[in-house]
Structures are given as structure tokens and as C-alpha cells.
Amino acid sequence: MKNILVPVGASTNALSNLQYAVDFAEAFGAKLYVVQVYNVYTKAGTMIKIDHILEQDTLDYLNDLVSKVNTKNVEIIVKALKGKFVDTIELACKAAEIDLILIEPRIYSEDEDLFLGKTSGKIVKQTTIPTLIIPDGYVYKPIETILMAVKSALIKKEGVLNPLKAIKDNFKAVVNLLLVKTPYYSEGDFNINDELSNIVSEISYSENPTTYHGVLEHYKSHNPDMLCVVRRKRGFFMKKWEKNQIYKKDFNSSLPVLVLSELK
């Protein structure tokens, strides 16, 4: 894992999230891209564009934020990006060959009833880049145990497990796999290929309405430091991400959540 991107908003948790990102990047010797996306406006009643002002204001804000964290030995690149949020983030990830996006649950929203705000939800739902969600105020610590929960272990995409393998290898973590049989179960969903088999140390099974219900049932017995789930149309968050926002009553986590891209 060489390049990590952190989209920054204006939440009260931005500083804490950035410090976690620095600590996490240091553990991998990775480069950290700290970015904020701004839109282009035209001053009301005139044709004077103010996007250059917005760009400078954005850079000033990001540089001030970076100055308040312990940057350690991490190389940090600050960027003010112009455009539509999700499209711009995806373009930035391709240009910088980003391996992981690290986000806070609510980049702009302060609604305490939400686990994921609209902006964070868009990143998780609409991009294809692996994402690590860091809970508000979470303090970095080495990852010893990871619980990976899926309803199907079938893997057809090359490299989709790379972020999980990188974290496992870097921290020498134990990965436990929870296979959840849901109403969408198909024959062969629990067939595990060699790549996944070589990653996991223990496999457990559960039958629940959703993968999340399976996590709730087995969460305490595994006592993980990180939860790993898969982004897919009928995957972990199913209907919960249809409107991008996720309320805490539907899903909540006090631990980092690694969201892999679709396995198929």
C-alpha cells in the first residue's frame, strides 16, 4: 500500500481523522494525499469567476489542518480539487494511483444520528476504490484481528483482496471469515478459493436475514480490531446505501470498517 487519499470536509472530526490517516500511512511507509473538492461559482450579478479564490481558501484550510497534526515522517501532498465530488475523487485516485481512500463517517454532516453522511456514503457506494471508514475520534492502534463478513466468497476480480492482504501482512493480523447465509444465498457461495483460504485463519458460519445481522451475532466472540465487508449491489449494506446516508439505527461501528470493491 503506497498511496492513501484522505478527502477532507469541514467536520469537527477532520483533525482526528487526519491524525489517524498520518499514523496509518506511517505504518505502511505510504504517501498521503490530503484533498478537498470545491465547486466553481460565478459571483451573483457579474461574470467574475471566483474559483481561484475558492482554490486558495481551500489550500489555506488544508495546510492549516495539516500544521495541527503530528506528520511524523509521512510525505503529505495537499490538493484543492475543482469539480463534482465523486467524479473528481475518482479522477484523483486514478492520477495518483491510490490504493485506499480513508474517510471519516460524516465529512460534512454534523447529524449525530447518522453513521455515514451523504458525502461519505457517496464515496463508499459510488466509487470503486477500497475505502477505510474511521469512527469519530478513533485513535490509531495496530490491527491484530480482522473480521471479514460476506454472504458470498466467490471471487472473480483480480486484486480485489489486495488491501486486506496488505493490512494483514503489515500488522501480522489474524483474519477470521464469517460466511452469512442470507435469503439471497446461491449454491456455491461458500466455496472458498486458494487466495482467500490463504488469508483467513478461521471460518465460521451463520444464517441471518443480512450480513450485518450475522456480524451482530458473532461480533463479540471474534472481538476484532477491524471489520471488513464487500461493496456490491446486493452486499453488506444493500438498501442501506440506496440514499447514500446510513443512520446509526441501521448500522453503526465503533471500529474501522474496510470496504472492498465487488468480488465478482
Tell me which residue of 184, 191, 198, 196 sits closest to 228, measured CA to CA.
Answer: 196
Apex 50 CA angle, 47 and 54, nearest 5: 165
Q: Residue 258: which pLDDT band, with cuts at 50, 70 and 90?
A: very high
DSSP 8-state secondary structure symbol assigned to residue 83: S
The pLDDT value given to residue 156 = 78
Q: What percent of the chain has pLDDT over 90?
A: 48
- Count other C-beta atoms under 10 Å from residue 255's C-beta: 17
Per-residue pLDDT tens over the stretch 24-58: 999 999 999 999 998 765 555 554 567 788 888 99
The pLDDT value given to residue 178 = 93
Cell of residue 86, nine digits: 465523486
CA distance 60 to 68: 13
> What mean pLDDT comes out for the span 140-148?
95
The pLDDT value given to residue 249 = 59
The pLDDT value given to residue 223 = 85
Q: Residue 136: which pLDDT band, with cuts at 50, 70 and 90?
A: confident
Cell of residue 224, nine digits: 476484532
Does the pLDDT value for residue 81 go beyond 70? yes
Give yes or no for a contact between 104 and 10, defined as CB atoms under 8 angstroms apart.
Answer: no
Cell of residue 103, nine digits: 474517510
